[in-house]
Structure 1
């Protein structure tokens, strides 16, 4: 194994810190960034502080310090929705102390956003974050980048557990939690925590937590309505403290539906959240978190540049059906179903010894559905040609062949069971932490086809029976029949030392991550039938921070991380009845590896919070994730493209004021210079017309989906009595969609406004309010992000003179104007 000088230096720093210093004082356990999570009750009486551990806060488990520790202040919430109006920037800039670039949002911001949003939409204003929505309501899509890394390269944690798809890495944040229950979100733009149960977070980490249950019996009710026929009903019931058991909890239910803002169709979602906490003794706790989601969303068509120019927002699925119309909207939708169980536990074994254990279970399943026309006879099952399928409702296609209009159904089914544990030992000014993470995932994905009748209805729309292929003994017609197993083992050792009266903190850690994957494809002709991938990566981290004054801190860090190849499609061929050969081949199975450095300064003042940081990151085997349609279908799949190395450098900063005459302004910005390090290999044709591999001169070109400039401005007003409001504006610079930098989307600006009024005392209600959210107030119609990438948008010659064809990237379309009114109250 070849080791770079930078990795060697990180390893040496780790060993020096581990040998010379072994761990942290009790003070170090509270040196992490802290956030106040309100209880959702409007009680004015003071109450004692209750520390709730996140299951991994003690010791140096982050890049250079403890992980986030939450402090729940029972009864401290000023308002029933959890707003305290104490966070600078209107909730966009809570205090941070971690020795890395880190930002966050609290209830002061979350409670004033549209209740239909999700975790990703809540952090759109933070430095370096580019959130590209497709729905103005925030109900669909998690297209997000940080420092040019997309959501599949960012680790998502919910209550300390990774609830994103562990193979495709899609976070599906709209499934995780209702925003009425969301307590806070913390964003680490450059590096993950050392003990985080992640192996894809080369681009940073996003951690979200639910609000803690109230100590008093009651509840919360919210009703929403607005444009696009949007409506949401939410109800939460709090048990309060149950006798003297030390147990309290809540359970909530919500229903949300809306019409698509462009094209026919819409979304409907049913969701359940539950959280119970048991506390006893000296800082012992067990938390039980449960989530259930059932959601169906009609998808949007993604236009190319030419289609956007010709049709604009009119490029949509068809509202009516006729034989052969595979773009009929009822044949193109996705289901997102999930069940999540998390049980963070914290035990104080001795005054200087703690144990954190977080077992979790995640079950996610589809289906995803896309319309497709397939041959009624003479098509292909894998590489095997089939005879007459003996199906009704065929029609004669343009080439005279009998065809069937079908719904291509992908009922993926995935289950994960895992446990993450750490032991933290404090001795003097040192804390030594040791941890282990184990995860086991199974994934099944059998694509099938359901024939469409003359009315446009698909028989067995969820593919329970499918189409039987004659002469196969009852096999179902399929393009891929995937069975995938993944096991993850990770060990980590971390050490922190505090010196100079706790002003200087030195931290080092080492993590060894092992990922074993095995996938098979049971479709005839699949070659290879079975693919195995095994990955072992050493991941050292080091950081140092110095508290110049109680309000001023400087820090630096060096981190490493890796990402195993994304998606099951990277391990398997994809077939289609319209082709005698595979339409997609396995992708690169090399893991992506990153080495990054940061240096930063932050000031936490009585009025102003400010932080700025400079960063550098180098990646090898950088895999750009491109969404591509299976040829001749409306079915999107993830398509990883290995483009070699990438270098990303830049500077980011943010500034927020605490409430001053009821106003709290906020500003954030980032400059990013991300470039490709290598020439990208592409398929080409030589002079004889044969397929060959050539290279495009892409070294030094700007990275795709990596805008040079991003910025946001916000202004919050809250008189702490009746009136409140927010204004925010986001600027996103132009983004390339081709590696040759010959096609891009222009910069865009969007802005939102929220206005609200809290009613005076109403009998039997606590803090009733009415809130108006105006989204994209300028009704800016724009392309928000590339949905796929191409090597070049123009036909050209490669470095060796071979002909390279032009590609046509597709784009996501940002949501238009929406107005939403919500009524809510505690009780």
Structure 2
């Protein structure tokens, strides 16, 4: 029997009933605040299940605004008026993907963005991987309603994955800065751009939404949202939403299962001010897809999977008795395991006061907190159990407890908009590794590893680590509107991140070395950014942006992940490098042109990135039990170009195309214990040089259909470029029909989504276990899902 955490509808409703008691009679209209990137945006008050409203300023210059109907939008909206390259995804655009699809997966249609996942929804976290202009997700910035979400790595230490932080149906929009995030984005990792997610506000009218999805691999997803509507004359309102997803893996045994609850309350205040609170609870259990190599792909094929639930096959493989198909591989011992799983429970909450003291002075303050518990499992043949079984279960238990605030004052005087603020966060990250006993064959099985932590069977604890981090960031910027057509934004931020760990428990017999412990500080008092926008003719504008960025040192336990964290190494390696390690930094230069009319939106940009102090994990053993150290291996230079165009030739039809090119190469060779590795001039792994994205959407009456396609060129798997995965073209299809109002149901809609329309066999994630310098035969990647079908029926009431 599979035990899964669930939440009943009665529990949700009882929670709804309690909310007004905690927020009695509060007050009035949506606030508007200056976006200090050089444009002005309306504070998040997007109505559910509708496209985002055109963005206006509180006192906009007298000019003709360009308005694009939400029904005619393509997958992207370009950042009209912004001083940097900005693109956006609206709620209506997300409806083109199957319900439950990760917002990051939808972003893969943007120029310069690559998103990979082994599952069709993009929610399998171990495989989730996003790149922008060559920067990986751990080098980007992510926020949700101004709440920092950390660097999005799988074993997150300072944040929460996007899919666990908000139900995709409750996303009102996503703003993406491909080049460099705004100075006031709450992130200590964004060497590259930033992704800012906005939740939908509660509706003013009482009602709700129900949605049911069925599909391939026994997929079932239920979504329910209840809106209170305005509860009083002041406009107090809230919603509660619940989503449950249950889907089997597309190959092998196991499943991806989650329960999630979102709640939000909004209270308008005087002078267009507001106070809003957001809450998220999620519980996730995921089985792993098996890591692939070129040898596995060519001998067994793309459907290679772990043994679960066949315990006998896994037990015999640990004894050297393999299935016939695996005997063809170069390493049948590692070609499959019993199972790997991830189990997480999270609580995330934020409270935002957006106070307009006058029409010139605004204060915006966000308080937030986040708690995460869970464990991951891997059934390993490398550690036998004390009872004589040739395998055991390795368990890791990451835990996060963090909280903080950010506050900023915005003051308008003459043609200046001055913005200054601080962000502080204190975080604890604890992690332990255990080995638990596996039963002897014939005396039981390991069963389902997601049913609970097997405390009674622990026989070894190699290590336990406790991290603490203090983050302080100050920013100051001025947006100067020199003329009605020329705007300059200039400012800087100062950052201090002090982090360190202690190791209360460690086993020399198992680890073979003393685990690294100590403190490091990443700081820089002056990280400047200058950007500008010039509307030199109606509909025509030029923009440029120059920024200097720094990334703090990432954290993780001993030998656990692929992030270049100094704490993954031994104590001796840590001591030998701690005084010479410097945080990663870069200079980002970009410039571009926009053309915006109701008929056509176009964007073209050029960029250059000079990346310094690149930290690299240096491995001296295989990927199973590596001995690692982190070294500064020099810099990377990236030159790139992007172009996008959306045409709306007739009402209801939009055609979008984008092209991007990036040449990202290493500046130096790297010296390791094995000698000099010839990396100078080689392409950075995992990111394609060429990309094409296309989307055609047509709407007539209640019917809408769209097809999107993406081409990625080949991606390198090694630093010396002696092995790569081939390029591919992937297409997706969606058709939706709105039947209108039927009885109490409003907007009854049926939709069909087809993922991987041509059933293409392709490689998705390519760096889940890190990249090797050369082709060793153990260069790992994950396969993308084959063609998948999903049907959805939804309605409002």
Aligned to 2:719: 739
- Say if 2:534 is the partner of 1:542: no
Aligned to 1:112: 96
Higher relative contact order (CA 8 A, sep 6+): 1
Q: Of 545, 555, 560, which aligns to 1:557?
A: 545
- Say if 2:177 is the partner of 1:188: yes
- Is this contact kept in 2: 1:175–1:336, CA < 8 A? no
- Is this contact kept in 1: 2:465–2:501, CA < 8 A? yes
Q: What's the offset of the Cα at 1:366?
A: 2.3
Q: Which range moved further: 451-460 or 768-777?
A: 451-460
- Is this contact kept in 2: 1:543–1:557, CA < 8 A? yes
Q: What's the offset of the Cα at 1:85?
A: 5.1
> Using a 3 Å threshold, how does the CA distance of structure 1 residues 808 and 358 change in structure 2: closer, same or farther?
same
TM-score, normalised via structure 1 length: 0.81
For each residue in 1:595-620, what CA deviation from the matched residue of structure 2 results, as whole angstroms up to 9, or x when unmatched?
01111111111211111110011011
- Is this contact kept in 1: 2:49–2:92, CA < 8 A? no
- Structural mapping, 1:173-252, within 5 Å: 173-252=162-241
For each residue in 1:200-232, what CA deviation from the matched residue of structure 2 results, as whole angstroms up to 9, or x when unmatched?
011211111111111000000000001111010
Gaps of 5+ in 2: 1-27, 53-67, 319-333, 558-564
- Structural mapping, 1:663-812, within 5 Å: 663-684=653-674, 694-719=675-700, 721-787=701-767, 788-794=769-775, 806=776, 808-812=778-782
> Using a 3 Å threshold, how does the CA distance of structure 1 residues 650 and 360 change in structure 2: closer, same or farther?
same
- Say if 2:564 is the partner of 1:572: no
> What secondary structure, in the 3-state scheme, does the structure 2 residue paired with 1:175 have?
helix
Q: Of 569, 587, 594, which aligns to 1:595?
A: 587
> Using a 3 Å threshold, how does the CA distance of structure 1 residues 779 and 766 change in structure 2: closer, same or farther?
same
Q: Of 754, 770, 789, which aligns to 1:819?
A: 789
Gaps of 5+ in 1: 1-48, 377-388, 396-402, 470-476, 576-580, 685-693, 795-805
Aligned to 1:438: 424
For each residue in 1:372-425, what CA deviation from the matched residue of structure 2 results, as whole angstroms up to 9, or x when unmatched?
23556xxxxxxxxxxxx8x43x14xxxxxxx4x221111110111010110111
Aligned to 1:280: 269
Distance in 2, matches of 1:513 and 1:460, equals 40
> Using a 3 Å threshold, how does the CA distance of structure 1 residues 334 and 67 change in structure 2: closer, same or farther?
farther
> Using a 3 Å threshold, how does the CA distance of structure 1 residues 184 and 516 change in structure 2: closer, same or farther?
same
Distance in 1, matches of 2:621 and 2:143, equals 29
- Say if 2:434 is the partner of 1:448: yes
> Using a 3 Å threshold, how does the CA distance of structure 1 residues 421 and 629 change in structure 2: closer, same or farther?
farther
Q: Which range moved further: 425-434 or 507-516?
A: 425-434
Q: What's the offset of the Cα at 1:349?
A: 1.8
Q: What's the offset of the Cα at 1:582?
A: 11
> What secondary structure, in the 3-state scheme, does the structure 2 residue paired with 1:313 have?
coil
- Is this contact kept in 1: 2:351–2:368, CA < 8 A? yes
Distance in 2, matches of 1:272 and 1:495, equals 39
- Is this contact kept in 1: 2:175–2:195, CA < 8 A? yes
Q: What's the offset of the Cα at 1:723?
A: 0.7
Distance in 2, matches of 1:437 and 1:816, equals 44
Aligned to 1:349: 357
Distance in 2, matches of 1:78 and 1:196, equals 24
> What secondary structure, in the 3-state scheme, does the structure 2 residue paired with 1:208 have?
strand
> Using a 3 Å threshold, how does the CA distance of structure 1 residues 206 and 171 change in structure 2: closer, same or farther?
farther
- Is this contact kept in 1: 2:706–2:733, CA < 8 A? yes
> Using a 3 Å threshold, how does the CA distance of structure 1 residues 87 and 533 change in structure 2: closer, same or farther?
farther
Distance in 2, matches of 1:637 and 1:659, equals 59
> Using a 3 Å threshold, how does the CA distance of structure 1 residues 447 and 78 change in structure 2: closer, same or farther?
closer
- Structural mapping, 1:598-609, within 5 Å: 598-609=590-601
Aligned to 1:614: 606
- Is this contact kept in 1: 2:48–2:202, CA < 8 A? no
For each residue in 1:59-99, what CA deviation from the matched residue of structure 2 results, as whole angstroms up to 9, or x when unmatched?
63x3xx257544646699489xxxx9526543422553211
Distance in 1, matches of 2:573 and 2:35, equals 51
Aligned to 1:154: 140
> Using a 3 Å threshold, how does the CA distance of structure 1 residues 666 and 626 change in structure 2: closer, same or farther?
farther
For each residue in 1:653-679, what CA deviation from the matched residue of structure 2 results, as whole angstroms up to 9, or x when unmatched?
211134724211101111101110111
Aligned to 2:123: 139
Aligned to 2:468: 485
- Is this contact kept in 2: 1:448–1:466, CA < 8 A? no
For each residue in 1:735-777, what CA deviation from the matched residue of structure 2 results, as whole angstroms up to 9, or x when unmatched?
1111111000111110000011111330111100000000001
Aligned to 1:690: none
- Structural mapping, 1:374-385, within 5 Å: none
> Using a 3 Å threshold, how does the CA distance of structure 1 residues 792 and 574 change in structure 2: closer, same or farther?
closer
> Using a 3 Å threshold, how does the CA distance of structure 1 residues 503 and 272 change in structure 2: closer, same or farther?
same
Q: What's the offset of the Cα at 1:350?
A: 2.5
For each residue in 1:153-202, what CA deviation from the matched residue of structure 2 results, as whole angstroms up to 9, or x when unmatched?
11111111112358656752221222221111111111011011101011
> Using a 3 Å threshold, how does the CA distance of structure 1 residues 287 and 135 change in structure 2: closer, same or farther?
same
Distance in 1, matches of 2:702 and 2:545, equals 44
- Is this contact kept in 2: 1:91–1:108, CA < 8 A? no
Q: Of 644, 668, 672, which aligns to 2:634?
A: 644
Distance in 2, matches of 1:586 and 1:317, equals 39
